[in-house]
Each structure stands twice: as structure tokens, then as C-alpha cells.
Amino acid sequence: MANSAQGKKVLFICLGNICRSPIAEAVFNHILEEQGLAGWEVDSGAIGSWHVGRGPDRRAVSTMKKHNVHMSHKARQLKKTDFNHYDYIFGMDHENISDIKDMAPKTYTASIELFGSYDPQKELLIRDPYYDDDDAGFEKCYEQCLRCSKGFLDSLAK
Ligand code: 4NP
């Protein structure tokens, strides 16, 4: 059955915004399209500024190509105004969550959560594959993002 969740604003955050969060953004957009859901605003960003302006890691690009998921993103850093613009800011691991909270303004409306908390298989953390010497961690990240995207949308429809 089509998901009835109303459009929300969602921001995916990881450390560098070249591996996990652009994959999460791309996969989430893919699922929105698959489920015929419109009116969402989806973006991703980084804790750090190292890769600002660059496209995703080539292993993230090849993993998305393999699964026919469109990905188009240039890295950008999390900023204070994000906290009162987005409904949800999702981190990939506990360190992300702690860094996101450290960067927050005094008051904000976004809900800051681990994306993995929506995994029906209960795999809470989306591990950083950046320093791996192969693609396996990227494939695993894709699979987790797929499950979490569906899990999150299902949770809103309830
Ligand atoms: P991401 O992976 O947080 O999933 O994008 C990383 C990418 C780059 C770095 C760390 C993690 N870095 O240190 O440059």
C-alpha cells in the first residue's frame, strides 16, 4: 500500500559527506520516488569541512550505479540554520549524533536521531567505510539505508 506520510524535511549527516550520508540521501530519494511520495525536502551534509564542494567517493558512486540509484550531491557542512529548517537530522553513528548536538544552536526544532534506529533488522550503526580498501562497506551501507528509509517512512504512516 502506498505510504501516506506527509512530506517532511530530512537531512542526513555523516563525518565527511562523501560516503554514508550522500548514499542515505540518494537511497531515501529513490524510495520516495518508488513509493510515489512528493513534497519532501532531502539533503545531506558533513560534520567536517574537508570535502566541501566535492562529489561522493568513487566507491559510493559505483555502488549507486550498480543499484540504479541516482545520486547527485556536492558535499556541504552542517550549519546552524539547518536545526530550525529540517524536521529530522539523521546521524549515522553515535559520534555523529554527539557532533551534531555540539554544533546546534541554543534552541532548535529538528529531531536529531540515529538513522539506524529505523532499521527493522535493528542494526543501529552505519559504519564508516571510508578507510576500507574495498567496496563491501559501501554495499552494506546501501542495504542499511534501504531498510532504514523504508522503516522511517513506515513509522510515519502508522
Ligand atoms: P563519511 O566517510 O563520513 O561516511 O563521508 C568519511 C569520509 C571522509 C573522512 C572521514 C569519513 N575523512 O576523514 O576525510
Ligand 1 atom 14: residue of nearest CA: 16
pTM beyond 0.85: the answer is: yes
Which residues is 11 bridged to in the sheet?
43, 89
What percentage of residues in the chain have a pLDDT greater than 70?
A: 97
Task: Locate 137 and state its grid cell.
Answer: 562497506
25 ligand 1 Cβ < 6 A:
no
Tell me how far the alpha carbon of residue 17 lies from the centroid of ligand 1, in angstroms. Answer: 7
CATH class of 3-157: alpha beta
Tell me how far the alpha carbon of residue 87 lies from the centroid of ligand 1, in angstroms. Answer: 24
Question: What was the pLDDT predicted at 1?
Answer: 43
Q: What are the domain boundaries of the chain?
A: 3-157
- From the candidates 128, 141, 145, 148, which is the catalytic residue? 128
Please state the rounded mean pLDDT for residues 148-155.
Answer: 98
Question: What was the pLDDT predicted at 73?
Answer: 98
Residue 106 is given by DSSP the state S
Phi-psi region of 48 (alpha: psi -120 to 50; beta: other; left: phi over 0): beta
Which helix (H) or strand (E) segment holds residue 112: the answer is strand 111-114
29-79 pLDDT, tens per residue? 999 999 999 999 999 999 999 999 999 999 999 999 999 999 999 999 999
75 ligand 1 Cβ < 6 A:
no
